[in-house]
Every structure is written in C-alpha cells, then in structure tokens.
Structure 1
Amino acid sequence: MIFTTVGRRLLNYVLRRRRLLILTLLFSSITSLIGLFIPLVARDAINVMVSKSSENLLNYGLMIVFLSVVGGLLAFAQRYYSGLLSESVVFDLRNDLYSSLQNLSFGFYSRSDTGQIIARATSDVESVKRFISFAITGFTNAIITVVLALVIMMSIDLKLTLISLLPLPLMSILVRITAKRVRRLFEYARNIYGDFTSIIRESIIGIKVIKAFCGEEHFSKKFLEDIENYRDSLIKVGKHRALLWPTIGLISFISLLLIYWFGGILAMEKEITVGDLIAFSIYIGMITWPMVMLGFITVSYERAKVSASRVFEIMDMKSDIVEDPNAVDLVVKEGKIEFKDIWFSYDNRKWILKGINLTVNPGEKIVLVGPTGSGKTTLVQLLPRFFDPQRGVITIDGVDIRKVKLDSLRKNIGIVHQDIYLFPDTIRNNIAYGKPDATLAEIIEAAKIARIHDFISSLPKGYDTIIGERGITLSGGQRQRLAIARTLITNPKIIILDDSLSNIDADTEQAIYDALSKYFKGKTVIIISHRPSTLRLADRIVVLFDWKIVEEGTFDELMKGST
C-alpha cells in the first residue's frame, strides 16, 4: 500500500510537467532504437568480412559511425531534458513542502525535531530528485532495449534465444532480495541523518552554552555515535552492492558462454552466420545491462520511497489551528479582549491554564506577573491563535477569534517575543519585516520610539547594516529594541510585550516607556514582566499562580494587600 501510494504521488508530480516528460521519453526511446540497429549493421559487416569480400564494407563502417554520432547527440538531449524534468519536479515538491511547513501550527514545531525537518526538506528531497532523473530514462531504455532485442534475437534463432535467457531469471530474484534489505537500511540511515543534523544545529546555535559548561565532549560523543551508525548502515548497503555486481557479472558471463557454445555449434552447422553469433552476443549484453538497470532502479526506488514518504508525512500533517471556512476579516475598533473560562494543555494531560477569566478593556495597559511556568506566555499566545484552548472562548470586541481570518487577526496584534529572532538581513529590512512597503521615514520613527535610532545612525552603513543570524552582532538589549521597532511599525491595535525589556537598563527602559506611553494611547497592551519599574506603568496587574489568576489590581493596591 505504501509502495502504491508513494509511487502514485510521485507520478502525479511528474505528470505536472507533461511536456518535459514527453520530450524525455521521446529522446530516450529514439536513443535506444538507434543503439539496437548498430549490432545488425555490425553483423552484416562481419558476414561480409567472413566471406572475404570488401563490397560495401566502407558503407557499413560509415553507417556505424553515423549511428553512433546521432545516438550521442540524442543521448545529450535525453540527459538534458531528463535533468530539466527532475529539477522541475523537485521544484514543485520543495515548494509544496515549504508551503506545508509554513501552514503548520506552533504545536508541530514544538513537538518536532528541527534537524529532522531540515533533513526532509533537503537531503530527502535530493534523494527523490536523483531517482526521478535516473529512473525515467533508465526504465524507458531498459524496456525498449529488452523487448526489441528479444524480438531481434528470436528472429535470428528462437532456440538459441531461449538457451541464452536461462540464467537471467536468477538476476531478478537476486535484485528483489537485495532491494528489500537495502530499503530497511536506507530507512534507518535517513533517520540517523536527521539526528546528527539536529546535533550540528544545536552545536552551532548553543555554542556559547556548550563552551561555558565544557560540554564539547558530551556533544562530540553523541555526534560520533550517530555518524558511526550512519556509516555502518551505508557500509552494509555497500556490502550488498558489492555482492550484487559480481554475481550479476557471473550470470551474464554464463549466459554469454552458453551463446558461444551452442551458437558456435549452430554456426558450424551453417544454421546461423558468424555475424549472427556476434550480434547475438552483443544483444545479450544489451539485455543484461537493462536488467541490471532495472535492479538499479529498484534499489533507487526503495531509497526514494523512504525519502518521499518522510516528505509526504510532513505534507500530510494537518495544522492544529484550522481557519473557519466562513471566517471574516477582523476589524478592531476598540480593542477589548475577553478570555472566558479558558482551559489549555499542550499534551491533553496536564493543564497549563485552568479556568482563566480575564477582561482587558480598550486602551488598557495590563501586566501579567507570576512565577516561571505559571502560564503567562501561554495565555498571550492563545490570543493570535498560535494555539487553541481545549475549552473556553476568546473574543476581541465581542467577536470570537475562531470566527475570523487568521491573517486579519494576527495583523491586528503586534508581539515582541521573549526569544528574539532577527533575520540575517539589513536592519532596515528587519524593522520593516511586517510592513515591506514601509518608507524610511516610518522605519526611523519606529526606531526612535524603541530608542534604537541613535545606535543605528552611529553604524557606518546605518539602516543598511547587515546583522548576523539571530542578531548575534547586537547585544541582547539592542535586539530587543529592534524587535520592538519591528512590531511598532505595523501599527497594531493590540500589543503584547513578552518580557521584552529584560535586557535593557533602567534608564533606557524608562525612556522607551516614555515614548511608548504616547504611542500606546488608544491601544490595548499586555505586558509580561517582573520589573518593578514596569509594574508601576500598568493600569492593572494580573497575578497568575498555579495556572490560575489569583489576584489583580493596581501596583499600589497589590502592595497594600501584601502588607
């Protein structure tokens, strides 16, 4: 069933490029046909030489040269269109895979290993490409060559054809057995490849932590174990191949031996000519190679099937967050947010939020506080529907957020995440990420509010300065201020700051809040923070503990209550 399903799906991708497929099959077929004529011309030339006549011998030689040149040109066209077809098919596959990855929810990425995802999007897709490039022309050449060569051989002598074919079924049995074993090894190797890809990624991203805790040896051992397993599995594949080819060569030699033995007898009895015998030996070689090619294709398919199934597994995944077919655009006029009896769990076993009821009034600034793991970040992630609660309803201006289009929902909410990610691009493009058509004046204004403009202006290339992956050329505070500017430029109605000023000194924090206080007018703001200076700026503080709201009020009210 897996074989049929994966094969059909790959075929559908190939059929999207029908024109290239037809051209590839056409040139492949003609190339095979020309190759089949050469032994016939060689037969006639040998018969002429055996008869000690030079009549038309030059013409036969020129004919062989001509067919070889034409065959070479057609083989070039075959390889060109075959490569173009495989690249086009894989282009479609990559595009669909990337679209699927973009449409999957946060839940998928929190459950999945990044290295495995990268391996499927790169190495597995390349494996499929190699199969398509090799299999279409190889299969076409093999079928045409085997069928027509057998027809020609039988027209020369049926009995000699049957005798020469006796050893060849062993080849098919051997290839089938090898393919099954190789498939299991390739499947194991692909999983290991994803594992050590993850280790490489973790080692690069977490290099500071690794070095700080002297963890190099630990990661090296893990990496060594994985690459040893990967190496061993591919060595076993190599052993199977090493056994396969000499055995196929032996079978081919036995078949050739039978031809010369029985064919020689027939030639001496004048039932066939010497040219027929030579042509026969060439054709049996032409049949043997396509059978080997079919074996190649079988093994290649087993490898591609494993890779394709891993790719399709991601493409078939459904997002945890589904947009209502009748969803409408969200229009935020006031910005009132209501969490009504919200219950949420990441694994459907342990509740992270329990019966949360919270109303944030239009234009209100609230701060969520509580111990680590109390559910603060989880609660704000429910608002843009990064996750959906198992129970309860969240509304904005009285509209259930599950009844509105995701794009319109998220465009009305600006979030500065706790874990800042900056793209390896210019500062200008990073700030304008949510609004690509933003003018430089708008970008500068957002940067000024976030108190990052002066620093940017001090750089030699200013806003055109390229920053490294994850913004590693910037300090933690600079990354946070850049992320704030990126959020502000979209001018959202609702703003979420998830511990976004933790790396900023008190003076800068106060300056940012002074600027933001004007910007925040008329906007609903939710802030996660524990800094006293931040708490004093809030209209209301909401305290979470044990995954519930246990207290709320102004800073002064809570301070009085604590005393």
Structure 2
Amino acid sequence: MKPFLRIARGLGRYPLALSASIFCSLAVAMLWGGNIGAVYPVLEVCLNGKSVQQWIADDIDEANEGIDKYRQKLATLPQANLTEQQQADREDWLSEIESLQDTITNRERVRPYADMLPKDPFYTVLVFMVILLAATALKNIFIVANLVSTTWAVQKTTLDLQNQYTEKVLALDLASYDRFGTSQLVTHFTESIEHVSKGMHVLLGASVREPLKIIVCGFGAAFISWRLMLFTLMIAPPTALLISTLSRKIRRTLKAHVSDSVHLNRLVFQSVMSLPAIQAYGMEKPMAHEVDDAGDERMRRSVKISFWIAMTKPVTELAGITAVAVSLVAGAYLVLNQQTDLLGIQMTERPLTISQMLIFFGMMVGMSDPARKLTDVYSNLQIGIAAADRVSEVLDEESRLDFASANEPSPDAPSSRDRTNLIPFKDGKVEFKSTAFGYRADQTVLNGVDLCVQPGETVCIVGANGCGKSTLAKLLLRFYDPHEGSVTIDGIDLVDVDPKIVRRAISFVAQTPAMIDDTVSANVRFGSVDASEEDVYRAAKLARADEFIQKLSEKYDTEVGFDGNRLSGGQKQRIALARAFLRNPTILILDEATNQIDQHSEQLIYDALREYTRDRTCIFVSHRPEVFELCDRIVVMDHGKVVADGQPEELLRTCPPFAKLFAANLEMLSSRNAA
C-alpha cells in the first residue's frame, strides 16, 4: 500500500485539477442525497393534500399543542420528594418538550423559503419535480467535470511516473539490469504502470465520490433516526472483514499474475529476437507451444483473479440488500405500531410518520448503491496497489555505482549536466590493480588482474572466450565496479567519480553497434547532440563512412530503420566508429568491433583507426590478428588473469595460450602479406 500511496502523492503536483475533482465529488454527493431528501415535502403534500405552507403551520401548531400538554403534565408533579417513576416521567416529558421545540425551530427556519412556493399542492409538486430534474442535470454536469479533472490529473501523474521510471531504467547499473531483465522492465512499463494509473483514477474519482454519497445519505438517515441507522448497519463489520479477506487473496494472485506476464513477454521477446535461428532449426512449433503454455498459465491466473473479484460483488450486494431489508422491516414495525422502541432499545423520540420512514428507506437505498459500486473501485484499487509494489521495486533500486557521498559536490557546485563536461581525465593512463570481479556471487571472471596502459598507448587484449577480456572494458566504463582491487584513470579511482563523467572521457564501439531509428546524422551525433553538421561530416569521413553515406538516397538524412536494419553490418560499424570519433575521447575502446563485418569494411576501419589512434589511449578487445599491426603491444589473458604481454612474435614463443589461439592465423597472415 505504501508504494501506491507514494506514487499517488504525485497527484498533488496538480492542485487545480485535484481540487476540482474533489469539489465536484462533493457536489455530486450533496446533490445525490439532496435529491432523495427533496422527496420528503412532496410526500407530505401528496399524502395529506396540503400545501407546504399549511404543512409547516400544522406542524408548528401540533408541536405547540404537544408542548402545552407536557407542561400541564409537569405541573401535576410535586415540587419535591419525587418518586423514581415520577422522576423518570419528568425527564421523559422534558425531553419531549425539547424535541418539540427543536421541531418548531426547524420549521420556522424553512418557513421563509416555503412562502416562495405555490399555495396549491399540485403546483407545489410540479415545482419540486422541476427542482429535482434541475438538480439531477446539475449533478450529471458535476459528474462529467469530475471525470475530466480526475482523468487529467491522473494522466499527468502517470506521465510523470513513466518518465521517472524510464529515467530510472536508463540509469540502472548493468547488475541491476541483469537482475530484472528486459521483459520484466518492459512489462512494468506497459502493464504495471497502466494498472497503477487505473488505481489512481478510482482513488481520486469513485473512491472519493461514492463514499461521500454514503456519508451524505448517512447524515440524512441519521437526521431522521441515528439509532435506527446504526441498527440497520450491523451487517457492515462482518462484511468488511470478509471483503478484507478476499482482498488479500486478490493481491497475492495479482502479484503472481504480473510474474506470469513477465514470463510470457520474455518468451515473446526471445522468439522475436531469435526468429532466424528458430526458423533455421525448425523450432517454430516448439517455441509456439512454449508461448501457448505461458499464455495458458497467465489466462488461468486471470480467471482466478476474476473469481475473487466477482466474489466481492455478491458479498457487497447481499450486505446492502440486507441493510435495506432490515431498515424496511424495522421502520415498518415502528410506523405501523407507532412505537419508538425496538427490541427494548429506543430508536426515536417520537413515532415516525410514513413520509419519514419512506425517506429513511430512500437514504438507506442511497447508501447501498454507492457501496455496491465500491466493489469495483476496491478491486481496481487492489490491482493498482499490487502493480505499484512491482513498479516500486525498480524505482527503489539503488545504483551500485553511486560515487561516495564525500565526493559529491556542494550545493554551489555546477549542475549534474555541467559536471558531466568537467572531465578530470586528460592523459588517459589506465591501471587495473589486483582487480577481481564476478557477475554472480559464486562466479569469478577476473582474479587479481594487474594491467597498466600508458597514455597514448594502443594495446590489444586477447584470450579465449570467457577469460574476462570484455569484462575489463565494462569495468573501465564503470558499468560494474570491481569486488576487489581498483580501476583507475590518471591515478583516479573510478569508484570516486560519477559514472557519467567516466563515460564522457571514453568512446566505446561494441561488436554489435546500437542504432536508433532515426537518420544517419542523428546516429553519428548520438551522444554528442551539440555537434555541428561540419563536425558530423568530419567524423564520418575520418571513419571512412562518408563514401557510402553519399550514395544513400537522402545521404545524411537517410532513415536507418529499426536497429539500423536498412544498413549492412560494415556500414553500421563505420557509423558507430564515426560516433566514437565525434566525441573526441581521451580513451577509445573497441570490443570485437570488426568480428562480424566483411574484409573490405574491416580494412577501411583499420585505416581509420591507424590515423585516429595516434597519441590517444586505445584498447582493442579482439580475436583478429589483423589488429596487431595497429597496436604497441598485445596483452594475453587466461582464466581471469593477465598472463603475458609483448609483441606477437615474442608471444608465439613464450606464451602457450597465445600460440594456441593465433599461431595458424599469424602464419597465414604472414604468407598473405609476403605474397
């Protein structure tokens, strides 16, 4: 419940819409009860054939007669030494006098307004019917205004929540991202936040409006007889207990339902992303069957949720009908027998009239209808609460990469955006000192790595799959922090630096470059949004990308498609390289950047790098021996450690892991170069 209320507090950012919604709810509730109460004088007029003015005058006269009667009775009592019975009679008569005086006061209060009504009973009924219709129309106007203002406030708050969630997801460290998974993060954005939105809508709308109706009708019924109202509401406590039990079942089932949605979305994502492999190996039916099983499980859970929600409706409806039936039976007994007591308990001070009983009954019906509607409100609220719990798991996730509070800037320091440009790394000296790391607690990927890359030096890190090459790059980019040891740039430990500042000093080109669904120019400028067109052209030419860009239909304004599906692998890689060059970084990292492209594109990229890496720290992670000619030295890793470094010829003789990986390739490369 706390996460949902914390999110719902965001509605307070829109006070005008919030105030309008609450005001309209109050107006609807007042008109709801007022419409029922307005029937009372009509009943009196119709049943007695009197005008309202005559009815008020008769009531006042009758009350005065009653007061005189009770005063005469009081006068017969002795002045002192009253018996217990006489004392009890005296208190009853005084209470009756006080009640009759209240009646006179109330009638005198409304008499000026009654004088404005017609004197004829029939026309009086017509006036009240017109008032009733006008009040109903006004109530509907307030209902529309309530729905519009509520929707506006909720949608704005939902948009804020989506933005907050998106910012949080994009700021997650990779360890947290790995823990949640893509499907769960997307499911919460597409489904859970929508459920939270619906929950906020009923929280601000119906859950305010319907209880106010109940309260207004409750006051109306209590005005006639508060004791009789409490008597008829005896059914409420056990009903509330039963609904509370059902709500716990609903919430537990809803949490499981969200997990089912996450699992189903994970399978769908996996099927779409692996479509070529699925079709190539004839796995369409098995994958479809797996998705069908997950969907079937989610469907069964949905039916279970519907069952528990459906159970709350008959419970609430039965309780409402019971309360109305009790009020009708009890009221009928009191009216028909002109009694004030029920089961030995005083219900009214004076016997109820038929008109009063009918209005009391109407007020009880007016309470039962919103109570029935609250069943759906409560169900949607429970769904929103369960969804808010899951969304808050992501929102409350604390980054493992926050730099120490001692290093946070003072309030007078530049903003975070300005601080991102204050790069403390100028030389680009990289050091891994006794660095240990594992993606899981039971896993060791790096085990005491010691490596130093001098400013302006180009090194290539090689080794068998799983030896930790790419992990070094991820630690340097501060996607993760080492479990032991340190990673420094220019002698500064990266754990003491904002990750944004670390990454601003580094350009990273991955094996599969990320492309946004935009133009070529936007993809080159990605990460350097303030770069000019001239800077973009210069970087593209340097990356040998300009030659193919000029052949595209719209040149730099050509749309690349989703994930760059309108470009070849080599073209995407050269755009990614231009993007890296445009940042003008202190350090350049290429992680298997040429593994999946053709030889021509690879050679163009090497030509670009040969020119660009001069006097700049550059780290290659690669299996390609063609990279070696660009490097000052080769670093060999094996089982999470640096086992050797040097020139390829030397490593072939002295480093068995290197010779095992590259002996044949280097001999072939030497023969090809000699030819």
Q: If the length of structure 1 is used for normalisation, what is the TM-score?
A: 0.93
- Following superposition, the deviation at residue 201 of structure 1 comes to 1.6
Q: Work out which of the residue numbers 16, 22, 25 in structure 2 matches 1:25.
A: 22
Q: Secondary structure at the match of 1:552?
A: strand
In the alignment, what sits opposite 2:669? none
Which of 237, 251, 262 matches 2:305?
237
Q: Select between 531-540 and 501-510 the one with higher mean Cα deviation.
A: 501-510
What's the CA shift for 1:205?
1.8
1:130 Cα deviation from its structure 2 partner: 0.7
1:51 aligns to 2:63 (yes or no): no
Alignment map for 1:437-516 (pairs within 5 Å)? 437-516=530-609
Partner of 1:218: 286
Could you tell me how far apart the structure 2 residues matched to 1:327 and 1:281 are? 67
Deviation readout 1:66-108 (Å, 9 max, x if unpaired): 1112111111111111112211222232222222222221111
Task: Please give the residue correspondences for 1:351-390 in structure 2 after superposition, counting only pairs within 5 Å.
Answer: 351-390=444-483
Give per-residue Cα distances to partners, 1:138-175, cap 9 Å, x unaligned. 23223332233222213224564345334444432332
Give the alignment partner of residue 204 of structure 2, picking from 136, 149, 154.
Answer: 136
Provide the rounded CA distance (Å) in 2 between the counterparts of 1:213 and 1:334.
50
Aligned partner of 1:287 in structure 2 is: 367
Preserved contact between residue 20 and residue 149 of structure 2 (Cα < 8 Å):
yes
The Cα offsets for residues 320-368 of structure 1, whole Å up to 9 and x where unpaired, read as 2122332684333322222222222222332211222212122211111
The aligned residue for residue 191 of structure 2 is: 123
Give the 3 Å change call, closer, same or farther, for CA 152–505 of structure 1 in structure 2.
closer
Q: How big is the shift at 1:378? A: 0.5
* CA distance in structure 1 between the aligned counterparts of 2:357 and 2:543, rounded to whole angstroms: 87
1:495 and 1:112 mapped to 2: Cα distance? 30
1:9 aligns with 2:6: yes
Alignment match, 1:105:
173
Is the CA contact 1:538–1:555 (under 8 Å) kept in the aligned structure 2? no
**CA–CA separation in structure 2 for the residues paired with 1:260 and 1:405:** 71
Deviation string 1:218-255 (CA, Å, 9 cap, x unpaired) is: 32222212211211112122223333323433333333
Query: Residue deviations 1:460-479, cap 9 Å, x none?
Result: 12211222222222222222
SS at match of 1:434: coil
Give the structure 1 partner of residue 618 of structure 2: 525
Aligned letter for 1:105? D
**Partner AA of 1:44 in structure 2:** P
Per-residue deviation, 1:432: 0.4
Partner residue of 2:258?
190
Change (3 A) 1:259 1:502: same
Equivalent residue of 1:61, what SS? helix
1:558 aligns with 2:659: no
Q: Report the counterpart of residue 116 of structure 2 in structure 1.
A: none
Q: In structure 2, what is the Cα distance between the partners aligned to 1:559 and 1:294?
A: 78
Query: In 1, Cα distance between the equivalents of 2:608 and 2:512?
Result: 23
User: 2:521 corresponds to which residue?
Assistant: 428
- 1:310 aligned to 372, 377, 390, which one? 390
Q: Which residue of 1 aligns with 2:270?
A: 202
Question: Is 157-166 or 329-338 further displaced after alignment?
Answer: 157-166
Offset from partner CA, 1:295-322 (integer Å, 9 cap, x none): 4343333222211111111111111212
Counterpart residue type for residue 22 of structure 1? S
Contact 2:437–2:482 at 8 Å: present in 1 too? yes
**Structure 1 residues 112 and 167: CA distance shift in structure 2, 3 A:** closer
Shift of the 343–142 alpha-carbon distance from structure 1 to 2, 3 Å rule, reads same
Residue in 2 aligned with 1:155? Answer: 223
After TM superposition, give the deviation of residue 430 of structure 1 in Å. Answer: 0.8
Post-superposition Cα deviations, 1:11-45, rounded to whole Å, max 9, x if no partner, equal: 53333433432222111111111111101112222
| SS at 2:619 equivalent | strand
Q: Which residue of 2 aligns with 1:42?
A: 39
| 2:4–2:388 Cα contact (<8 Å) kept | no
Distance in structure 2 (CA, Å) of the matches to 1:191 and 1:491 = 44
Per the TM alignment, residue 120 of structure 1 is displaced from its structure 2 partner at its CA by 1.4
Shift of the 548–167 alpha-carbon distance from structure 1 to 2, 3 Å rule, reads: closer
Shift of the 520–176 alpha-carbon distance from structure 1 to 2, 3 Å rule, reads same
CA distance, structure 1, for counterparts of residue 276 and residue 648 of structure 2: 38
The SS at the match of 2:595 is coil
CA separation of 1:327 and 1:172: change in aligned 2, threshold 3 A: closer
Task: Tell me the distance in 1 between the aligned counterparts of 2:276 and 2:157.
Answer: 41
- Aligned counterpart, 2:248: 180
Q: Give unpaired runs (5+ residues) of structure 1.
A: none
Amino acid paired to 1:39? I
Q: What is the SS of the residue equivalent to 2:38?
A: helix
Aligned residues: 560
Determine the structure 2 residue equivalent to 1:323.
403
Instruction: Give, as a single letter, the amino acid of the residue that structure 1 aligns with 2:247.
Output: A
Q: Whole-Å Cα distance in 2 between the matches of residues 452 and 204 of structure 1?
A: 30
1:395 maps to which of 488, 494, 500: 488
Root-mean-square deviation over aligned CA pairs: 2.3
- Per the normalisation by structure 2, the TM-score is 0.78
* Aligned mates of 2:277, 2:582 — CA distance in 1: 33
Structure index of larger Rg = 2
Of 137-146 and 28-37, more deviation after overlay is shown by 137-146
Matched position secondary structure for 2:370: helix
Aligned-partner Cα distance in 2 for 1:49–1:481:
90
Shift of 1:498: 0.7
Q: CA deviation at 1:46?
A: 3.0
Letter in 2 for 1:86: V
Counterpart of 2:364, as a letter, is I
CA offsets 1:397-454 (integer angstroms, 9 cap, x no match): 2222233332222111110012321111111101100111222222222222222222
Task: State the SS of the aligned residue for 1:56.
Answer: helix
193-202 vs 40-49, which moves further: 40-49
Establish whether residue 95 from structure 1 lines up as the match of residue 188 from structure 2: no
Counterpart secondary structure, 1:204: helix
Which of 441-450 and 287-296 deviates more? 287-296
Alpha-carbon distance change, 24 to 327 in structure 1, aligned in 2, over 3 angstroms? closer
What code does the residue aligned with 2:384 have?
A
CA distance in 2 between partners of 1:512 and 1:240 (Å): 62
